[in-house]
């Protein structure tokens, strides 16, 4: 991996619209976090960090320092074999891969200029006993990430089904964030989608062509327009 510059962090930032659909909004609420003021809550510190496109938020073997939540932008999670394990989008939490061994097993690379909330991991763990209900919320968040990973493990699906499922997932995320789920821009390249779905770029191109020829969606560069959402859902959920 190419050496990346360190992300810049500040202590103050305006409250983003991300807060109401963020993976950690319950934690913030229970700890009385105020994202506008200096972010200190029950000895748990958090910073706002800005990461440029192509910059690493953390790398494989880095020691765990924080749990991160994406305020704006997106990231790809890459293992040591350059396989893209997952994409993380606005409102998503990341950094859980380091909890088991206290060191990251993945590298998080910004797909675009991004901003994240960084919750100090060790002060968060120390503060959890002060709010027992937060422990359940934290465990549910970890469980959510595990279930998402399990649901993406099916390698027996045909290429166009894999792609339909991927687009359907992105569309649902768009809706969750309050954006249009019918028309949106892909933050990642086709080659990165192919890598993530364990397909060749030629196969991904044919899968896109199949979905467009069947008037399920249309594409213009990285812009996706879903023409028949119900058919897309039917393919993605079979």
Q: Which residue has the tokens 């465990």?
A: 139
The pLDDT-based confidence of 151 (bands split at 50, 70, 90) is low
Taken in order of first residue, the domains within the chain and their CATH numbers are 8-151 (2.60.120.10), 159-236 (1.10.10.10)
What is the edge-to-edge ordering of all strands in the sheet holding 107-110? 56-58, 107-110, 75-78, 84-88
- 17 secondary structure, DSSP code: G
Report the pLDDT value the prediction gives residue 176, as an integer from 0 to 100.
86
For all residues of the chain together, what is the average pLDDT?
Answer: 82
Contact yes or no for 123/45 (Cβ under 8 A): yes
For residue 36, is pLDDT > 50? no
Q: Flag whether pLDDT at 37 surpasses 60.
A: no
Q: Which band of pLDDT confidence, cut at 50, 70 and 90, is reported for residue 11?
A: very low
CB 77 within 8 A of CB 108: yes
Lowest-pLDDT range of 8-22, 75-89, 91-105, 219-233: 8-22
Confidence of residue 132 (pLDDT cuts 50, 70, 90): confident
Q: What is the mean pLDDT of residues 87-94?
A: 91
- Which of 32-36, 123-127, 171-175, 201-205 comes out lowest in average pLDDT? 32-36
Q: What angle, rounded to 10 degrees, do the helices at 159-176 and 201-213 form?
A: 70
Element (H, E) at 23: none
The first and second tokens of residue 32, run together, are: 């009385």
Answer yes or no: are the C-beta atoms of 201 and 190 closer than 8 Å: yes
Q: What's phi and psi for 61, nearest 5 deg?
A: 80, -5
Q: Is residue 50 classed as helix, strand or coil in its secondary structure?
A: strand
What is the Cα 207 distance to its own chain's centre?
A: 24
**In whole angstroms, how large is the CA radius of gyration of the chain?**
18
Residue with the bigger pLDDT between 9 and 181: it is 181
DSSP letters for 87-136: EE-TT-EE-GGGTTTSB-SSEEEESSSEEEEEEEHHHHHHHGGGSHHHHH
Q: At 127, list the tokens.
A: 């503060």
CB neighbours (10 Å) of residue 221? 8
| Report for 14-18, 20-24, 28-32, 212-216: range of highest mean pLDDT | 212-216
Alpha carbons 109 and 113: distance in angstroms, whole number: 10
């Amino acid at each position: 991996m190419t050496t990346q510059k360190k992300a810049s962090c500040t202590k103050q930032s305006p409250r983003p619209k991300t807060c109401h659909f963020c993976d950690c909004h319950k934690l913030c609420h229970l700890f009385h976090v105020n994202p506008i003021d200096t972010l200190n809550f029950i000895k748990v510190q958090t910073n706002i960090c800005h990461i440029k496109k192509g910059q690493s938020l953390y790398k494989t073997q880095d020691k765990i320092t924080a749990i991160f939540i994406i305020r704006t932008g997106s990231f790809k999670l890459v293992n040591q074999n350059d396989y893209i394990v997952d994409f993380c989008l606005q409102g998503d939490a990341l950094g859980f891969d380091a909890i088991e061994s206290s060191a990251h097993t993945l590298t998080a690379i910004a797909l675009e200029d991004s901003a994240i909330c960084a919750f100090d991991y060790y002060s968060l763990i120390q503060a959890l006993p002060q709010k027992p209900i937060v422990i359940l919320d934290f465990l549910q968040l970890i469980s959510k990430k595990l279930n998402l990973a399990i649901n993406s493990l099916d390698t027996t699906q045909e290429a166009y089904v894999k792609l339909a499922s991927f687009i359907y997932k992105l569309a649902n995320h768009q809706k969750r964030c309050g954006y249009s789920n019918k028309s949106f821009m892909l933050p990642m390249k086709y080659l990165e989608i192919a890598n993530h779905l364990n397909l060749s770029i030629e196969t991904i191109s044919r899968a896109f062509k199949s979905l467009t020829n069947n008037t399920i969606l249309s594409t213009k560069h990285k812009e996706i327009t879903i023409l028949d959402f119900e058919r897309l859902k039917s393919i993605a959920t079979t």
